[in-house]
Amino acid sequence: MNGAWLLLDLVLVPMILAAALCAVGARAQFTGIVFYIVYGLLLALAWVRLGAENVALAEAAIGAGLTGVLLLGALARLPAAAPAEPGADGSPGTALRLAAAILCAALALGLGAAVLALPEPAPGLADVAAAHLPATGLGNPVTAVLLVWRGYDTLLEVVVLLLALLGVWSLTPDPLWGGVPGPRHRTRPEGVLVFLGRVLPPAGLLVGAHVFWAGADRPGGAFQAGTILAAVWLLAIMAGLTDAPAVRGLALRLVLVGGPAVFLGVGLAGLATAGAFLGYPPDFVKPLVVLVEAALTLSIAVTLGLLVAGAPERPPR
Amino acid sequence: MTDAATLYGLCGAALVGIGLYGLIVQAPLLRKILAFNLIGSGVFLLLGAIAERAAPGRGDPVPHALIITGIVVALSATALAVALLLRLAGATGRSTLSPEPPPPAPGERNGG
Amino acid sequence: MPWVVMAVALPFAGMLLALPLGRHAHRLAWAVLPSGLAVSVLLVVQVWRGGETVAYAIGGFAPPLGIALRADGLSALLVLTTALVVCATGLFALAEFRPPSAEREARASVLFWPLLFALWGALNAAFLGGDLFNLYVALELLTLAAVPLVSLEGKPETFAAALRYLLFALLGSVLYLVGVALLYGAYGTLDIALLAGAARSEPAAWAAGALMTAGLLAKTALFPLHLWLPPAHAGAPAAASAVLSGLVVKASFYLLVRLWFDALPAVAHPEAATLLAALGTAAILFGSVLALRQERLKLAVAYSTMAQLGYLFLMFPLTGGPTEAQPWSAGAWNGGILHAISHAFAKSAMFLAAGLILEAVGHDRIAGLGGIGRALPMTVFAFGLAGLSLMGLPPSGGFIAKWLLVTTALASGQWWWAVPMLAGGLLAAGYVFRVLNPALAGADEPVALRRPVPRRRQAIPLVLALLSVLLGLLPLGPYRLLWVGRPTAAEEGLG
Amino acid sequence: MRLALDLFTVLAVSAGAFFFLAGTVGLLRFPDVLTRLHALTKADNLGLGLIVLGLLPRAEGPLAALKLLAVWLFALLAAATVAQLVARVALRRNGRSPGGSAAG
Amino acid sequence: MAEFLVAAAAFLLITVAAGLVRILQGPTAADRMMAAQLLGTGGIAVVLLLAAAAERPAAVDVALVLALLAAFAAVAFVKGATSSGSGDPELPEDDRG
């Protein structure tokens, strides 16, 4: 058994490193980004290999999906860069590069040594988590960590997401405030893009719902589902089938704050019902978690979609 | 399985180094943003290896949850950085930061 | 009522409400600011009365599986400082960030409020968090709230400043995160209190400590990682500069203190402490000299922040020094903390005062501010009072803080750390009087005010400056509070 | 029965891998972008289909089998549309990279 | 059986790794994008094989997500390649010439 897995590792790890090196070192930025997209895919494979399907789902949707699209979109909209000459555009000369390379190699080696020096047997919380899992009624320990035991992290994290969106919106030129993010996409009617935009969103809705539902007991959950929904929404926008919403809309804003607000509300209600902030009354853990996740999924989907769409560029309709 | 965990842990360490190199050396801001993402995913791989070491075969769920949180946080930061970069390029035509801090603006422009 | 929880939850609730409220968001300030201040005061009272660290297991799940919030004297004091500074800047900003008309909403006036509330919540989350990973999320929250504030006015030069700030901050937090991962791998917990019991001096802990320290230094803008700070803090709107310079950089410093004194005191090396102090010394000297050479008031104030942050790092090699000369034990530790707090008040006062001058005169070129003292006496007085604290002249919070640090340095025979502190005080006097002298002297042609500044607004920086002075006049209060839950390493030194 | 199914899996997966190999050879050896595109999309999707086919007997129940088929269907859809769109870009661009910035 | 499936996955990875070379060499952006697409399809196959080998059906969901979003990056690329950044290569007016 180990032989084949080792072979796989010995192929996969060098590929990851090669993709990363090329993403950093490729001469053209476009090439670097394509390598980064491939790198995200390879990482998703690594997560599957390590038995971390929850993470693999997130990486597949975010690392290989949204981040790549974000970077590609940005590159297409940046002004053409002048031909790169070392030093001309603020990039360091050879000596500095060498110094940086030595520093980074030393850091990587030190980090590697620290990894090798980690104690054996390795400490961890897997057993503690397994012992507490039945009390939650959930089957997926990662969901239990994210929404029950370390729900506070997750609450702050969804606030981070919303805050990033406010940050992106804060870059709107003043006359366009309240307007619509991104350009209006044009497509050939009955063309391939339109076809894709028609077929994939319903499929994505289905897959997203599946990942969301599975999340309570098997790998999946609000973040993965939200990302999938965001991706197919963006696809429908790029296919010109629908337009991004104007950011001044009250309904949109309520959807955006809805997830975090429900989470915070349930958390504060926990003060009364469970005697602790972000606590759940013993018999209602699973239904409350599913409620919070449902609200979060919607908010995350819309927030992520708008994050990638960027700052408003068109005046409100 | 522990061997695999160590291998991926070392891979994560190398990725942190590669990403940091890119962040320091590359001038175009988009490349810096990309390099930052490489460092981030290197750290996540490190955490994944730690999860696998702690509970071979099933994985420690706590680091897995931390990674998912980290991935979302990294995406948020990336989106903000990209938006800032596009706005910077739109306003000044630049897509790099010059090594010196930008010269102070004339006071008159600060009035409003 | 668990005030630790409310201190975090309330500002975030405000943030979530502010967005849908749109052009009415500024009205929310009248609810969130006072209630947040009240919660902070109640938290301080709770810690003071209880006399021990208030710990709260979120969701009822104790660490290591769950996350604990902890409020000891230090965190309570910082939460209160934050509340006071945020409330003052919030009141100050009410005049600036309100909708231009009743019908339309404007970008900056809508976004300022959720950003400010989120910043507040993030600061409290950082001061009260007891879990290293949760603190990472809090740090990111802080960054993502602070960066948009820098470029909120939409001035082109601030986009580069904000982006530079963002990149430094992201690098800092990712380095911090590497350390968190290593510590979990080595000890199987993220809880600071549990780590304190488990951590030993070994390679994984060294690597983690070094990386986390480096990351936090980048966020605290310690020399030579300071490049991002002056353009960001000087370019931001005054109300934002006040919280960025007064509070945000203190959060990462606070985490550094937590890391060294609470989580890893056994791992910290005396040589590393010396290195930190050496960098701090360089920051004091470089920052002060650069502040002296600035043409613009806000940039001078920003470089002064870089210099003043340097003092904070002198406490690392000095803790554990003899304290016979002082009425309190752990003099250096107390001195460092007090300096952070008095600088928070003084610097926010200075930035608000500089903002008022900029608003009234239309520029902030120091050379063109002759005679401004007659036009805006209250504002210039506030600037001078705050400068008193920066120089470390009695009676001020800055004086007590520096006196504690200097006497510890002398008593422990490490007189060389006293030199930069005294030199920094002289240089601070230089850059403060460089502004005050012409401002107070009668210029041939007194500056013309573009628009009058109401006294109500001028009073706000004055109150902050008075607070920084007052800190030196009622000395016993903060010390007794700081005593609560103080780590033993603060008394006995590191290593 | 079990042995026969295993044999089927081995054969189908091997055949699938062969088609991937063919696609790669095409990607590396074919002279211009359009022929490469052509070879690639056909071969690797056939390969994926064969692998899905080979794994079908090992699926736990009809729902899991359906999911496997859905994977193939999505991949086919993506490959077909992407090939079409990218070919358009390639035709128009005459072999230049998109956006002047790509050269930087 | 598991060994065979894992070995097949490793073989497949080596095969598609050649795509990395094509991304590096180009010469056209379309080449690069299509090579990434090959790696995507190969990656999906690898995930399916690993899911079967380790008997972790949840991993099939990962393949499902990868397949669903396989066209996502390419669509963004195609969009970016049009003159306005928001057009369609199938529309005549988006010809950049």
Do residue A126 and residue B4 have CB atoms under 8 angstroms apart?
no
Please indicate whether, in this complex, the C-beta atoms of A7 and E6 are within 8 angstroms of each other. yes
Q: Which amino acid does the sequence have at B34?
A: L
Cβ contact, residue pair E38, D88, below 8 Å: no
Q: Which candidate, A227, A235, A54, places its Cα nearest to that of A146?
A: A54
pLDDT above 90 as % of chain E: 41
Can you give the pLDDT at residue C443? 62
pLDDT at residue number C32? 97
> What are the φ and ψ backbone dihedral angles of C420, each rounded to 5 degrees?
-60, -30
pLDDT of residue B112: 29
Spell out the residues 6+ positions from residue D12 whose beta carbon is closer than 8 angstroms to its own: D50, D51, D53, D54
Evaluate if residue C487 carries a pLDDT over 90: no
pLDDT digits 0-9 by tens, B55-74 = 888 889 999 999 999 999 99
Q: Which residue of C lies nearest to B40 if distances are taken between CA atoms?
A: C174
Q: Which residue has the tokens 């507040």?
A: C120
Chain A residues near residue C13 by CB distance under 8 angstroms: 264
Per-residue pLDDT of B15-44, as tens digits, reads 999 999 999 999 899 999 999 999 999 999
Do residue D82 and residue E44 have CB atoms under 8 angstroms apart? no
Write out pLDDT tens, residues E19-49.
888 899 878 888 898 889 889 999 999 999 9
pLDDT of residue A91: 63
> Prior bond to A121 cis, omega within 30?
yes
What pLDDT is stored for residue B45 in this prediction? Answer: 96
CB neighbours of C259 closer than 8 A, spacing ≥ 6?
C209, C212, C213, C216
Task: Return the higher-pLDDT residue of E78 and D36.
Answer: E78
Beta bridge partners of C71: C54
Q: With an 8 Å CB cutoff and a minimum of 3 pairs, decide whether chains B and C touch.
A: yes
Residue from the list A37, A51, A60 with its beta carbon closest to the beta carbon of E36: A37
What is the per-residue pLDDT for A90? 58
Q: What are phi and psi of C365, to 5 degrees?
A: -70, 125
Contact A125, B62 (CB under 8 A): yes
pLDDT of residue D15: 95
Query: Which residues, in sequence order, are bridge partners of residue A181?
Result: A312
In a mutagenesis test of the A interface, which of B47, B58, B62, B97 is the best target, namely the one with the most A β-carbons within 10 Å?
Answer: B62
Number of Cβ atoms within 10 Å of the Cβ of A225: 30
Is E49 part of the contact surface with chain A (CB cutoff 8 Å)?
Answer: no
pLDDT tens sequence across C213-246: 999 999 999 999 999 999 999 999 999 999 999 9
Query: What residue ranges define each of the domains in chain B, with the CATH number in brackets?
Result: 2-93 (1.10.287)
Nearest to C127 by CA among C53, C65, C177, C196: C53
CA distance D17 to D11: 10
| A51 → closest Cβ in B54, B59, B98 | B59
The pLDDT value recorded for residue D94 is 57
With beta carbons less than 8 A apart as the criterion, state whether D88 and E90 touch: yes
pLDDT surpasses 60 at B100 = no
pLDDT band at C446; cut points 50, 70, 90: low
Question: Which of B7, B17, B98 minimises the CB distance to A107?
Answer: B17
Using one digit for the tens of pLDDT, what is the confidence trace for A125-167? 999 999 999 999 999 999 999 999 999 999 999 999 999 999 9
Q: Global pTM?
A: 0.95
Strand partners, B68: none
**Mean pLDDT, chain D, as a whole number?**
83
Q: pLDDT (tens digit, 9 = 90+) per residue, C344-381? A: 999 999 999 999 999 999 888 998 888 888 889 999 99
pLDDT reading at D57 higher than 80: yes
For residue C368, the model assigns a pLDDT of 87
Long-range contacts of A281-287 (CB under 8 A, 24+ apart): A282/A135, A285/A135, A285/A136, A285/A137, A285/A138, A285/A148, A286/A136, A286/A137, A286/A138, A286/A216
pLDDT for residue C425 is more than 60: yes
Look at D77 and A29 and tell me if their CB atoms are within 8 Å: no
For residues D72 and A149, what is the distance between their CA atoms, to the nearest angstrom?
38
For the stretch A100-128, pLDDT in tens is 999 999 999 999 999 999 998 899 999 99
- Cα distances from B1 to residues B7, C209, C274, in angstroms, run 10, 28, 42
Note the pLDDT of residue D97.
Answer: 43
Vertex C101: Cα angle to C154 and C113 (nearest 5): 50
Q: Do A297 and B69 touch, CB atoms closer than 8 A?
A: no
CB-based contact, D64 to chain E, within 8 Å? yes
User: Which residue from E30, E41, E63 is facing D79, i.e. has the nearest CB?
Assistant: E41
Q: By residue range, what is the domain housing residue C303?
A: 271-489
Q: Going by beta carbons, is chain E in contact with chain C, meaning 3 or more pairs sit under 8 Å apart?
A: no
pLDDT of residue C96: 87
In a domain, residue C154? The reply is no
Residues of chain B with C-beta less than 8 angstroms from the C-beta of A154:
69
CB contact under 8 A, C184 and B47: yes
Does residue C122 sit within a domain? no
Residue D34 has pLDDT above 90, yes or no: no
**How would residue D23 be classed by pLDDT, with cut points 50, 70 and 90?**
confident
Residues C379, C387: contact at Cβ < 8 Å? Answer: no
Would strands C68-71 and A312-314 be described as parallel, antiparallel, or unpaired? unpaired
A194 Cβ contact partners less than 8 Å away, ≥ 6 residues apart: A187, A188, A239, A240, A241
CA-closest candidate to residue C131, choices C197, C180, C80, C199: C180
pLDDT of residue C407 exceeding 70, the answer is yes
HSE value, Cβ hemisphere, 13 Å, CA-based, for D65: 9
Q: Is B97 helix (H, G, I), strand (E, B) or coil?
A: coil
Residue D95 has pLDDT above 70, yes or no: no
Neighbour subunits, E (≥3 Cβ pairs < 8 A)? A, D
Residue D74 is which amino acid?
A: F
Contact check, Cβ <8 Å, A166/C59 = no
Backbone φ and ψ for C364, nearest 5 degrees, come out as: -130, 35
User: What is the model's pLDDT at position D102?
Assistant: 34
ipTM > 0.85 (yes/no): yes
Q: Which chains form contacts with chain D, at 3 or more CB pairs under 8 Å?
A: A, E
Which tokens belong to A305?
Answer: 């979609």
For the cut 70, the answer to whether the pLDDT of residue B110 exceeds it is no
Which chains pack against B, by 3+ Cβ pairs within 8 A? A, C
Q: Does position B101 have pLDDT exceeding 80, yes or no?
A: no
pLDDT tens-place string over residues E55-78: 999 999 999 999 999 989 889 998
**Touch between chain C and chain A: 3 or more Cβ pairs under 8 Å:** yes
List CB contacts of B61: < 8 A, sequence separation 6 or more: A125, A126, A129, A141, A142, A144, A145, B51
Residue C362 covered by a domain: yes
Touch A-B: 3+ C-beta pairs under 8 A: yes
What's the pLDDT tens digit per position in C112-162? 999 999 999 999 999 999 999 999 999 999 999 999 999 999 998 899 999
Report, as ranges of residue numbers, the positions in chain A whose pLDDT lies below 50.
82-87
Nearest Cα of chain D lies from the Cα of A68 at a distance, in angstroms, of 15
Average pLDDT over residues C201-206: 91
Please report whether residue C331 resides in a domain: yes
pLDDT one-digit tens code per residue, C267-316: 888 889 999 999 999 999 999 999 999 999 999 999 999 999 999 999 99
The whole-number pLDDT of residue D96 equals 44
- Ordered by start, the domain boundaries in chain D are 2-92
Chain A residue at shortest CA distance from B18: A21
What would the DSSP string read from start to end of C253-280?
HHHHHIIIIII-TTT--HHHHHHHHHHH
Are C163 and B54 in contact (CB < 8 Å)?
no
